[in-house]
Chains A and B, each alone.
Chain A
């Protein structure tokens, strides 16, 4: 135990001497979180559209007003000579709406009429949102302006947990996971692989410290760094995304601790198995950042990943942390909903720790 603490103190001294790394380690997670939190979202609003009104009657103008009133669309002017489709080609508009010339007369005669919505399908998700909105705008127009009777079935929709469709509520809690997934393992992996690259591991070999003590000492040192990062990120995230604990935070606190531990163990494992700093960075970057970003259900739902790929996400710690973090900040389900998260994180940590210990012993033999 004494030797572990001595090793931890040595690591922390070494770490604090490189001022640039200390600053980067504390500042980068916050910057990354802010950047992801403000830019990564699928919730679109104010999509530019052009309208070609061939009718030019009070009724057709009222339809245009209905479009203008929706939050999703913003009408941009269309040159008189230009065809509406050309605005889609030039990325000036995401949709072009054509109101036919007999719009008002048809409606007055009690006939139905069709408004054409030409939608840019390049971005499939946004196109889907626009398609739904096109139908809703026509429905809203019909209810206000035609004498059709009340519909037989009326659906009252209630959006739970996040009624304002605020994407910060969804992205914000998950952003910790991604920001914290990258830097703690990166730092510990660098510290480990440096020993292998510069062969200083031999000095450890001749000292009277065991492989597991040495490994735990390093992990403990970077756990302290990771916890500092965690506190800083959390303190900034709460006002930035306007979130607060909805329920019992103990499961979140315990999971956070285990999550950091899990990531540090992963970094130690990667560093111990790859005695080359550049390659170790690549490995950690690919696994921690790319996989946490893509396969954690952070933006893109896990259920959409093809099943042959989906099992990989079960090994990504961030996936579980995203679950618990969303629960505590948005749903408030507490222990009954998320008890499995700490258990899985503990199991993953132990697996990484064991693998790291094995590689470290091998590294000492190889050196």
Chain B
């Protein structure tokens, strides 16, 4: 039994592929270096955090009270007084030119109203061209004013409801943790499909598929042997990206690494399946590349890997369940950040297994059909 396993003609085919890969140093580099670099680059660059908003100020009431208000804004890390303007028109012009993110207008009766214990109104203009930044800036401003109000009327705050917020899993609100855990699956699927389609199409382009067919190996063995080295190399990538994520951004692995690794391998297999399917539909590398522009952007954008799924249109949200990248993102976040295991993550794990079986099955079937 064991002897039969070792004498299987599958192994020489794998060695042939491994040898080919070993000689193609550029491909090895392409599979190991860019994913790591991308992870670092994306982790740093994809940051929607809102801090240090430039605040323009029109201070019509030059008083101790207005200075108290402005310093309350300045002390919060969210705003930074950038410039003072003498009139609303000037402030508006600066806001239109994109020099400011927000403008504060303190009217001239501010101090007198405060002294008379009336409600003193101030105006805050927020540039909400970027709707996310705009609404977060509004929230910050409301918090700054709220805190100041409490400070002013200390005796009255003992009444009412207070929200006590505790942040789970990512208490420091590190955005890179979100991006890194999402990007790993995206890179695995995309690289898998890219490399698999390139290596399959090349065999077709050069015409060596016929030579392979003349060997006694069956078509299933040919496909398996072709997939094996890509699979091995990309599995190294899972380890590499976890290590890089941990060293550069401090992304923890709180759950079982084995589960993460196995899900990663499933992800790689689905990627290889996608690549092989693309390869069977195209005749040249150029066509394969253009085809992958049809497949890869939807896979990466409709995954919730880098932007929240809740921000997509309602009808589109269920479609994301058809995306292996989404399920891996949930698995990766579950294992790495939440520290939960299979008992919670089994729906996503099973979905990933199902996608892998379907994709690899369809690709093997298409490939075999084409060979015959």
Q: Which residues of A contact B312 (CB under 8 A)?
A: 38-39, 41
Cα–Cα, bound, A110→B141 (Å):
28
A-B contact pairs, 6 of them (CB 8 A): A152-B120, A153-B122, A154-B122, A162-B128, A294-B41, A300-B45
Cα–Cα, bound, A336→B99 (Å):
12
The interface bits of chain B over 127-140 (1 if a CB of A lies within 8 angstroms of the residue's CB, else 0) are 11111111110111
In contact, B159 and A146 (Cβ under 8 angstroms): yes
Cα–Cα, bound, A178→B209 (Å):
38
Does B289 touch A at the CB level, under 8 Å? yes
Hey, which bits of chain B sit against chain A, CB under 8 A?
30, 34, 38, 41-42, 44-50, 52, 69, 95-98, 114, 117, 119-136, 138-143, 145-146, 148-149, 152-153, 156-171, 173-175, 177-178, 181, 198, 285-287, 289-290, 293-294, 297-298, 301-302, 307-308, 310-314, 316, 330, 333-334, 337-338, 340, 344
> Given A39-B301, A89-B338, A165-B135, are A116 and B166 neighbors across the interface (CB < 8 Å)?
yes
- A238 CB to nearest B CB, Å: 18
- B310 CB to nearest A CB, Å: 4
In contact, A153 and B149 (Cβ under 8 angstroms): yes
Cα–Cα, bound, A153→B198 (Å):
64
Does A224 touch B at the CB level, under 8 Å? no
Q: Which residues of A contact B310 (CB under 8 A)?
A: 44-47, 94, 126
Does A355 touch B at the CB level, under 8 Å? no
In contact, B142 and A20 (Cβ under 8 angstroms): no
Does A9 touch B at the CB level, under 8 Å? no
In-complex Cβ contact of B308 among A44, A155, A301, A304 (8 A): A44
> Given A38-B312, A151-B119, are A300 and B290 neighbors across the interface (CB < 8 Å)?
no
In-complex Cβ contact of A116 among B96, B131, B164 (8 A): B164
In contact, A43 and B164 (Cβ under 8 angstroms): no
In-complex Cβ contact of B117 among A24, A89, A152 (8 A): A152
Cα–Cα, bound, A153→B44 (Å):
38
In contact, B169 and A281 (Cβ under 8 angstroms): no
In-complex Cβ contact of A157 among B138, B181, B344 (8 A): B138
Q: Which residues of A contact B117 (CB under 8 A)?
A: 152
In contact, B96 and A337 (Cβ under 8 angstroms): yes
Q: Which residues of A contact B143 (CB under 8 A)?
A: 132, 135
Does A203 touch B at the CB level, under 8 Å? no
Give the most central of A113, A150, A155: most B CB within 10 Å.
A155
In contact, A160 and B52 (Cβ under 8 angstroms): no
When C-beta atoms are compared, the residue in chain A nearest to B98 turns out to be: A337
In contact, A157 and B160 (Cβ under 8 angstroms): no
Cα–Cα, bound, A129→B50 (Å):
11
Does A205 touch B at the CB level, under 8 Å? no
Give the most central of A123, A149, A159: most B CB within 10 Å.
A123
- A87 CB to nearest B CB, Å: 11
Q: Which residues of B contact A32 (CB under 8 A)?
A: 293, 297
Cα–Cα, bound, A326→B119 (Å):
37
Q: Which residues of A contact B133 (CB under 8 A)?
A: 301
Does A85 touch B at the CB level, under 8 Å? yes
Hey, which bits of chain A sit against chain B, CB under 8 A?
20-21, 24, 28, 31-32, 35-36, 38-47, 63, 85, 88-91, 94, 103, 107, 110-129, 131-139, 141-142, 146-163, 165-167, 169-170, 182, 190, 277-278, 281-282, 286, 290, 294-295, 299-301, 303-306, 309, 323, 326-327, 330-333, 336-337
- A84 CB to nearest B CB, Å: 11
> Given A153-B152, A333-B97, are A132 and B136 neighbors across the interface (CB < 8 Å)?
yes
In contact, B161 and A107 (Cβ under 8 angstroms): yes
Give the most central of B117, B134, B165, B316: most A CB within 10 Å.
B165
- B171 CB to nearest A CB, Å: 6
When C-beta atoms are compared, the residue in chain B nearest to A290 turns out to be: B38
- A340 CB to nearest B CB, Å: 11
In contact, A190 and B286 (Cβ under 8 angstroms): yes
Q: Which residues of B contact A111 (CB under 8 A)?
A: 158-159
Q: Which residues of B contact A112 (CB under 8 A)?
A: 157-162
In contact, B132 and A167 (Cβ under 8 angstroms): yes
In contact, A332 and B96 (Cβ under 8 angstroms): yes
In-complex Cβ contact of B98 among A126, A142, A333 (8 A): A333
Cα–Cα, bound, A118→B120 (Å):
34
